[in-house]
Structure 1
Amino acid sequence: MAYVALYRAYRPKAFDEVAGQKVIIRTLQNALMHDKIQHAYLFSGPRGTGKTSIAKIFAKAVNCLSPVHGSPCNSCDVCKGIDRGDIPDVIEIDAASNNGVDEIRELRDKVKYMPSVGKFKVYIIDEVHMLTPGAFNALLKTLEEPPKHVIFILATTEVHKIPPTILSRCQRFDFKNIEIRDMVEKLDEIVKKEQISITKDAIIAIAENAEGGLRDAISLLDQAISYAEEEITEEDVHQVSGSVSKKALTDILLAIIHKEISKAIVILKDLLADGKEISRIVTDLILALRDILLEKTIEVDIPKYKDIVNIFPIEKVYFYLDVLNKCQQDMKWTHQKRAYVELALIKMMEHQNLKQIDFEATILDLKQSIQELKEVNKNQPVVAQQTTLEPLVTVKDVQKILNNGDKDKKQTLISGWSYLKNYPKDHLKMAAYLLYQGELEAVSDYMLVVYDDINICKQMYDPEVVEQVLEIINNKNKLIKGYYAILKSDWLVIKEIYSDLYIKKGQKKPKLPPHDFKLYKDLIKEEKESETISLAKDYFGDKVKIKE
């Protein structure tokens, strides 16, 4: 016997076998039970969501000899005959190939004949939006006043193409994309009956790739069965569908969040070498970020990125989505799609907006950590303690450098900055490299150096590093007395305020408002070792000192 495709073998024959569309099914069953059957229905929605299947089940239900709660019994001669296609009272018409006026006129002539076996003649017109304007006009009068024994079910994926005159004469049902959990449930049922060896992750991957269409999901399962050697794995599904695996998406997202440009580009290159389409990679990245956003904001049924979701600030996710969405639009008008994607990846790691996002995320983390410390303290015995935070750099320090800037001295230092990368003196190599990673922004008697990483800022205040940096800078001439290191996100805020005061408001020696640079010496006295101290250590590191 010839092989029957799974989507045909498992086409639902009763309402309770249909996945999803619960509201539509309930409405139709109630109409059948209470004998409130309309003469014309319009089923609209995406492909593979059950429009034709439900139309056929409805056609059986209205003609069934022994209906059960508004559903066909599937055991009487009429139900069996309709399933076999032997009963001429259920007529399926493909409007894509029978879309002319002549075909509809022929249909209009035949509707007046009584059904041969059942109670109703049911016309199922699939892809009805393909009818010509003349054909719609020919159908209009019949829809308006059909014989009592005739029911029309019009199915379409493009309801906007249906004339309003037709829409107004039909009871309309809008089919929705089938939820992943409903598809997973249906696929589980199929693989058990067919005794197919497949992993749970593979079933979920099939459901996700189907994008709401159950027929597509079952067809993809059929394809995966032919492709896989033994057990169907998630990777098999990604190979067959052309989608990007969760592991590859996780790797590329981690490379982006950690600003590992080379690694991200290499992963992209490997995916393309593996046959993935560049546009599909961008789409799957967008969907992965969508999943991360959902997992951060609501409780989802099947979390996919729970291991990495906490390292992605919401604002960064929004920024990444904006970049990828713009890239997706730009790719429509170019043949250099790969170049656009590579540029988008770099932008997601190096764009100026990321500095402000990182700054805001740091503030949020600090507030959260302080709140956690407060919560822990509520449950701790009260101990005598005195905590003071002495800033390593103040806004007055920065203000003094900016107001007494020496452009010539700054140019002299910048001209030799690249020399720091491979400094020749071994005992000064580390300090020189730390200094090289910063950007020199202003010089007076002191230097102002900015960094992307707060940990490097802290290292620059280590007394030994300070001594070595001064030895490097003042090697030939005594140029500076010292320096201050701050975060670039803080510098951008200070720079904008200073420029506004100096240029727009004309202040020759601008006075900057208070600003917290988040760089402190931590002095903690007479505090008992407790869980609070442990949390403080986790957050502030070695700066925490405990004195008995």
Structure 2
Amino acid sequence: MSYQALYRVWRPQRFDEVIGQTLITQTLKNAVKTKQISHAYLFAGPRGTGKTSMAKIFAKAVNCQHQEDGEPCNQCETCKAITKGTLNDVIEIDAASNNGVEEIRDIRDKVKYAPTEADYKVYIIDEVHMLSTGAFNALLKTLEEPPANVIFILATTEPHKIPATIISRTQRFDFKQIQAKDSLSRMAYILKEKNLSYDDEALKVIAKASEGGMRDALSILDQVISFGDDKVTLDNALLVTGAVRKQLLVTYLTQVTHQETQKALMTIQEILDEGKDPERFTEDLVNLTRDLLLYQQSPELVTQIEMDQVDSDFKQLATEIKPQQLYDIIDDLNDIQQQMRFTTHEDVYLEVLTVRLAGHQNQGTQTVSSAPVDNTAIDRLEAEVSSLKKTVADLQKAPATVKTVQKRPAAMKTVKPKRTQVNLSLVYPILGAATRQDLSALQEVWPDLMNILSIPQRSIMGVSKPVAASPDGAIIAFDYAFLQQRANADQELNDALENGLDRLTHKVPKLVFVPTDQWPEIRKTYLEQHQVGNQNGQEPEITAQDDGQSKDESSRTKAEPVVDKAKELFGDDVIDVKSD
């Protein structure tokens, strides 16, 4: 038989073999034992976390005649046929390539027929979010009136693309990213079963590189085994994953924080000479700075995340570096990552990054030289100062008609920071319905909401606050733009916020994140557009008449609707009305 990939050979065949999803496996086992089986399930979560494997195990469990404690026996003909994919009553469909209305209508026509070999006919639709709108509508009719002995299992990595009408007719299970320690133990078990030697540090590198996916971890392990001729070593794992040694990352960051630019450039050259991926290097640096920030708040958490890979150099760096320095480093890394996507000279960008990082650490600090005092240099400087004083005195005696043009020194030029794009189409509807009462209610529960979050989530949301709210939405301002971007991209954080608000307020408002430095401009633009709406006839315009009303009084009267609206949105305490 031809070689099979590890993730196919070691695919879980029982609920107990599924890694990192204890809550889901226990719930489904109990449903099988008690015969409380729903007609439709939705398995949502990141790739490689066991969704399809769980669906097949569940299909075996509900159809197995010899199941014990909710687990399939894997010995009967039905279990073997489902494992091989040859049972006609268990149908797997890839929605990515079968996403049209006709395919779903074909299912709807055949679903009415009773199963021929098993107790239940099970439809497993993978990547269900790829279905077209018409296909979803066709599927909805079947889910509304499900035939007896038919089970639908929908699997997806993007549940937000599935219509709410579909989700509401299923039992939803959210698969979580598999923790590195669970991936580590699974890989160690597989290697022991295959009688292969391995290095613990190599498995830790692979577990981190897999980013929470068990299938990805086994695929990388497969590559390392092939590359190392059945030996799993740290060097081979680093080569295959393109990762950089943690020690080298700490050394590099220590060098730039100490303004040792030349040494840091040599470290970069060493990394590039080893064939490391520059983009992967910057990503590893982002993770290291995150770990340093978290370590300053919760050392135990970082020790758990890094699987005891926290050494003395890391601890020393965490005590030396300041949080603001780490925020600046992350901003620079974010900018470089954006630029590296559009270049073939990534090594140049890494060198520029190194010089920039070392330069940032030198800003605002002065170093005292330990070299002996040079009296000759002091005498020369005093002579130059005297000459400059004489020149200034001569200029002051010059005729007053002489005009001098002062140019702004080049050193005073400032570079505008890169602005974060804000989707105003999400902001303005919230402002249109915002009230002071909704904002006060949200501000009141905000501290409780922060306590509900995990420590990493609180580290992101700790520099945020609600600045406007409506019955259906809220605007949250972040002090740092990169944390606002991270919050936007963190679906797990958004889910935690929505769940927390649901518990605290019994409502789930749509949250829109904006940078704090852009919020006043967004608010001002909205109010100006609101005022333009008044002038265009949407609301009565108040103008000065020939009854003696002054121009100032007319302007103040015309501005009152805007002022009232601003006070209604943001409260009297933050509105300062000034005359032109």
TM-score under structure 2 length normalisation: 0.61
Q: Which of these residues, 337, 350, 356, is aligned with residue 347 of structure 1?
A: 356
- CA–CA distance in 2 between the matches of 1:479 and 1:157? 71
Match of 2:334 among 319, 325, 328: 325
The aligned counterpart of 2:378 is: 473
Question: Residue 313 of structure 2 corresponds to which residue in structure 1?
Answer: 308
Which residue in the other structure is 2:440 paired with?
A: none
Uncovered stretches (5+) of structure 1, i.e. residues with no partner: 357-450, 481-548
Deviations 1:271-292, CA, capped at 9 Å, x for gaps: 3343333222111111122233
In structure 2, the partner of 1:279 is: 279
What displacement does 1:469 show? 4.2
Of 355, 367, 373, 1:452 maps to 367
Q: Give the C-alpha shift of residue 475 in structure 1.
A: 8.5
Matches for 1:129-278 after TM superposition, within 5 Å: 129-229=129-229, 231-278=231-278
Amino acid in structure 2 at the alignment position of 1:179: Q
Change (3 A) 1:354 1:44: farther
1:452 corresponds to which letter in structure 2?
T
**Could you tell me whether the CA contact under 8 Å between 1:291 and 1:304 is conserved in 2?**
no
Assess, with a 3 A threshold, how the Cα gap between structure 1 residues 74 and 314 changes in structure 2: closer, same or farther: farther
CA RMSD of aligned residues (A): 2.5
Query: Counterpart of 2:251 in structure 1: which amino acid?
Result: D
Task: Indicate conservation of the 8 Å contact 2:205/2:237, yes or no.
Answer: yes
> Size of the alignment, in residue pairs?
376
Counterpart amino acid of residue 276 in structure 1:
K
Query: C-alpha separation between the residues in 1 aligned to 2:338 and 2:262?
Result: 25
Any idea what the Cα deviations from partners look like across 1:332-379, whole Å, max 9, x if unmatched? 4566544443333222211267546xxxxxxxxxxxxxxxxxxxxxxx
1:24 partner letter: I
Provide Cα deviations, 1:289-332, integer angstroms capped at 9, x if missing partner. 22333334321222324221222324233332232123223444
Q: Deviations over 1:466-506 (max 9, x none)?
A: xx5447635898999xxxxxxxxxxxxxxxxxxxxxxxxxx
Look up the match of 1:59: 59
Query: What displacement does 1:46 show?
Result: 1.0
| Separation in structure 2 between the aligned mates of residue 20 and residue 74 of structure 1, nearest angstrom | 22
Contact 2:244-2:281 at 8 Å conserved across structures? yes
Identical aligned residues as a percent: 48
For 2:382 and 2:262, locate their aligned partners in 1 and report how far apart those are by CA, in whole Å: 40
- With over 3 angstroms needed to count, the CA separation of the structure-2 counterparts of 1:137 and 1:231, relative to structure 1, is same
> Whole-Å Cα distance in 1 between the matches of residues 382 and 57 of structure 2?
92
| Partner residue in 1 for 2:403 | none
8 Å CA contact retained: 1:67, 1:73: yes
Q: Deviations over 1:510-533 (max 9, x none)?
A: xxxxxxxxxxxxxxxxxxxxxxxx
Residue 187 of structure 1: how far off its partner (Å): 0.5
Q: CA deviation at 1:265?
A: 2.0
Note the C-alpha offset of 1:191.
Answer: 0.6
Does residue 122 of structure 1 match 2:91?
no
Aligned partner of residue 351 in structure 1, secondary structure:
helix
Q: Is the 8 A contact 1:291 1:305 kept in 2?
A: no
Structure (1 or 2) with the larger CA radius of gyration: 1
Q: Deviations over 1:176-221 (max 9, x none)?
A: 1100011001111101001111100001111000000000000110
Query: Are 1:87 and 2:93 an aligned pair?
Result: no
Structure 2 residue identity aligned to 1:322: D
Aligned-pair CA distance for 1:261:
1.1
Answer whether contact 2:258 2:361 (CA < 8 A) is retained. no
- Contact 2:257–2:361 (Cα < 8 Å) also in 1: no
Distance 1:42 1:478, change over 3 A: closer
Contact 2:11–2:53 (8 Å) recurs in 1? yes
TM-score w.r.t. structure 1 length?
0.64
More moved, 300-309 vs 58-67: 300-309
Equivalent in the alignment of 1:295: 295
Task: Tell me the CA shift for residue 4 of structure 1.
Answer: 1.5
Q: Distance in 2 between matches of 1:476 and 1:452?
A: 20
Tell me, yes or no, if the aligned pair for 1:52 and 1:155 is still in contact at 8 Å. yes
AA at the equivalent of 2:96:
A
Does structure 2 conserve the Cα–Cα contact (< 8 Å) formed by 1:473 and 1:479?
A: no
| Corresponding residue number in structure 2 for 1:532 | none
